[in-house]
Amino acid sequence: MRLIFLGPPGAGKGTQAQILQRRFGAKQVSTGDILRDNRSRGTELGKLAESYMNSGALVPDEVIIKMIEAELDTLPDGFIMDGFPRTVAQAEAFDCLLESKDLTLDAVVLFEADRATLIARLTGRWTNPRNGRPYNAATNPPRVPGIDDEDGGPLVQRDDDKLETVTKRLDVYERQTSPLVEYYRHSGKLVQVDALAPVDDVTKEIVAKIGAPVEQNAAG
Ligand code: ADP
Ligand code: AMP
């Protein structure tokens, strides 16, 4: 299964990608997680990306496209792109890349939510820095505050989830990423889901709308 999750920061893309990758075996590819991992390891890529990420701006297209190109060869069972593409230039480059490998997209899932909800979700988000799993102090709390339910390690609040950076990121989404809605509508692959619904209901709506195949790993 090859999917793109499209939608503003805080809409629940990472939450759903983590659930569906377990159910269907397609790997979640979060460009934000890859960049944060590089930043914490102090790689050249991480150093280059840092100032953009801290300010809520997008990392330059050519850097992201090169990163995805390397990633695509490691995804034999499909992918769920979470946070990529984020500009029309990235989407066009991705189309070329897929075509060169004879791969097609199954669907682009658009997560819809209002700005006030997104701000509340992001400023209440706690993240497992080891695998990107998100929790929320209000809507989806861990069993023990500050601790991941599964690996027992600490959760952190991302620096860019501060109110000031959140509003900047939402503006960046409107300006640079929302044109992708029309881009993918033209391809006939776009499906929309109500991202305001509870987590389980969003999962059900996605599964119904993408016409999901037989589950590969229902136990996980
Ligand atoms: P994104 O990957 O789109 O930025 P996340 O999946 O990290 O969004 O979710 C943002 C925040 O909202 C997290 O704190 C998450 O726990 C919470 N969240 C995700 N989906 C829902 C939902 N359907 N209802 C309520 N809270 C949610
Ligand atoms: P995210 O984890 O998706 O919220 O992304 C966090 C930050 O990483 C963004 O605010 C950008 O600075 C950067 N980033 C992630 N994905 C991309 C992308 N596809 N294009 C450009 N910048 C990105």
Tell me: the pLDDT tens digits for 91-127? 999 999 999 999 999 999 999 999 999 999 999 999 9
Any domain includes 67? no
How many angstroms does the Cα of residue 134 sit away from the middle of ligand 1? 7
Q: Which helix (H) or strand (E) holds 192?
A: strand 190-194
Whether residue 193 lies inside any domain: the answer is yes
* Cα 11 to ligand 1 centre (Å): 6
CA dist 14 and 12 (Å) reads: 6
Catalytic residue, candidates 22, 27, 158, 162: 158
Nearest residue to 22 via CA among 124, 131, 128: 131
- Check pLDDT > 70 for residue 5: yes
Asked if 111 and 17 touch (Cβ cutoff 8 Å), the reply is no
Question: Domain containing 114: what range?
Answer: 2-26+75-210
Percent of the chain with pLDDT over 90: 93
Asked about 185 being catalytic, the answer comes back as no
Q: Is residue 81 part of a domain?
A: yes
- CA distance linking residue 215 with residue 70, whole number of Å: 27
Neighbours of 144 (CB within 10 A): 10
Ligand 1 nearest-atom number relative to CA 18: 6
Let me know if residue 48 belongs to a domain. no
92 belongs to a structural domain: yes
Q: Would residue 140 count as lying in a domain?
A: yes
pLDDT at position 220 is 37
**Is 40 a domain residue?**
no
Provide the domain count of the chain: 1
Give the CATH number of the domain where residue 158 resides: 3.40.50.300
Report the half-sphere exposure of 72 (CA within 13 A, side-chain side).
22
Which pLDDT value is given to residue 76? Answer: 84
143 a catalytic residue: no
Q: Band of the pLDDT at 219, cuts 50, 70, 90?
A: very low
Helix, strand, coil fractions of the chain, as percent rounded to 5 = 50, 15, 35
pTM of the model: 0.95
Q: Is the pLDDT of residue 218 over 60?
A: no
Ligand 2: centre distance to CA 81 (Å): 12
Task: Give the model confidence (pLDDT) of 50-89 as tens digits.
Answer: 999 999 999 999 999 999 999 998 898 899 999 999 999 9
Q: How far is CA 134 from CA 13, 45, 148, in A?
A: 10, 24, 9
DSSP 136: E
Tell me, yes or no, whether 62 lies in a domain: no
Q: Is residue 158 within 8 Å of residue 166, measured between CB atoms?
A: no
